[in-house]
């Protein structure tokens, strides 16, 4: 069977995608170690081993790089797919368990990105708007998970959703996992216990 031959245009697209990935990985490292505001496009180019004009051609602004890093994180964590799996779970108690695991695994896959976003909120109004949009997207998914068990709640829906969102505070993960040494599995179990104890009524 003949092997597929890459056309010049296909090769160029693959090279461009690989360069974009390399730039994003370099920026992610620098944003985490030096801070978003303190990192220049020139520094990113040097870290990635490309020309400065290549960084601008690939992304245009640091904000676009940060948005790309967020999308990479969500894709690698399979955040959207896993959220759909949680919502498809028929047993409400297992849905709670799934929601707990979803949050723990999401942060385990990229807590450095969470911290970058947190620090970047002090940047320009455009960057703050991007942060608000990313946070709103996460909250929409989390709210939908809790809304899907609305018939099994011991508290009003809005309160139950607020409890779940509170668990997503970066300080909780930092205190328990980064500083406390908890594993992602232990954190997921704790999330699960908190949600089951405070918002879920198994008798309904």
Give yes or no: residues 114 and 16 share one domain. Answer: no
Asked, for residue 129, whether it belongs to a domain, the answer is yes
Give yes or no: residues 186 and 124 share one domain. Answer: yes
Give yes or no: residues 23 and 112 share one domain. Answer: no
Digit-coded pLDDT (tens) for 11-33: 778 888 899 999 999 999 999 99
**Could you tell me the pTM of the whole model?**
0.87
Asked, for residue 3, whether it belongs to a domain, the answer is no
Q: What pLDDT shows up at residue 124?
A: 79
Q: What pLDDT shows up at residue 149?
A: 96
Q: What pLDDT shows up at residue 204?
A: 61
In angstroms, the CA 102 to CA 84 distance is 10
Residue 185: which domain range? 70-199
Q: What pLDDT shows up at residue 132?
A: 86
Q: How high is the mean pLDDT of the chain?
A: 92
Asked, for residue 2, whether it belongs to a domain, the answer is no
Closest CA to 162 of 120, 131, 194: 194
Q: What pLDDT shows up at residue 154?
A: 95
Give yes or no: residues 158 and 195 share one domain. Answer: yes
Q: What pLDDT shows up at residue 17?
A: 87
Give yes or no: residues 80 and 56 share one domain. Answer: no
Give yes or no: residues 130 and 92 share one domain. Answer: yes
Collapsing DSSP to helix, strand or coil, 165 comes out as helix
Give yes or no: residues 179 and 131 share one domain. Answer: yes
Asked, for residue 1, whether it belongs to a domain, the answer is no
Q: Mark residue 181 as left, alpha or beta (left: phi above 0; alpha: psi -120 to 50; beta: remaining).
A: left
Digit-coded pLDDT (tens) for 73-106: 999 999 999 999 999 999 999 999 999 999 999 9
Report, as ranges of residue numbers, the positions in the chain whose pLDDT lies below 70.
1-8, 204
**How many domains is the chain partitioned into structurally?**
2
Q: What pLDDT shows up at residue 15?
A: 87
Q: What is the CATH number of the domain that holds 134?
A: 1.10.357
Give yes or no: residues 117 and 191 share one domain. Answer: yes
Q: What pLDDT shows up at residue 4?
A: 55
């Amino acid at each position: 069977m003949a092997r597929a031959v890459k056309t010049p245009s296909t090769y160029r697209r693959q090279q461009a995608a690989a360069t974009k990935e390399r730039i994003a990985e370099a920026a992610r490292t620098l944003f985490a170690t030096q801070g978003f505001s303190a990192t220049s496009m020139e520094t990113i180019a040097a870290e990635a081993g490309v020309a400065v004009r290549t960084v601008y051609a690939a992304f245009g602004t640091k904000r676009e790089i940060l948005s790309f890093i967020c999308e990479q994180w969500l894709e690698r964590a399979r955040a959207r797919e896993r959220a759909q799996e949680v919502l498809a779970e028929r047993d409400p108690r297992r849905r709670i368990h799934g929601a707990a695991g979803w949050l723990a695994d999401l942060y385990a896959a990229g807590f450095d990105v969470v911290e970058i976003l947190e620090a970047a909120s002090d940047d320009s109004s455009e960057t703050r708007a991007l942060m608000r949009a990313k946070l709103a997207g996460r909250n929409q998914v989390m709210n939908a998970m809790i809304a899907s068990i609305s018939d099994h709640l011991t508290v009003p829906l809005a309160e139950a959703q607020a409890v779940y969102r509170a668990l997503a505070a970066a300080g909780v993960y930092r205190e328990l996992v980064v500083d406390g040494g908890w594993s992602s599995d232990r954190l997921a179990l704790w999330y699960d216990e908190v949600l089951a104890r405070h918002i879920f009524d198994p008798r309904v």
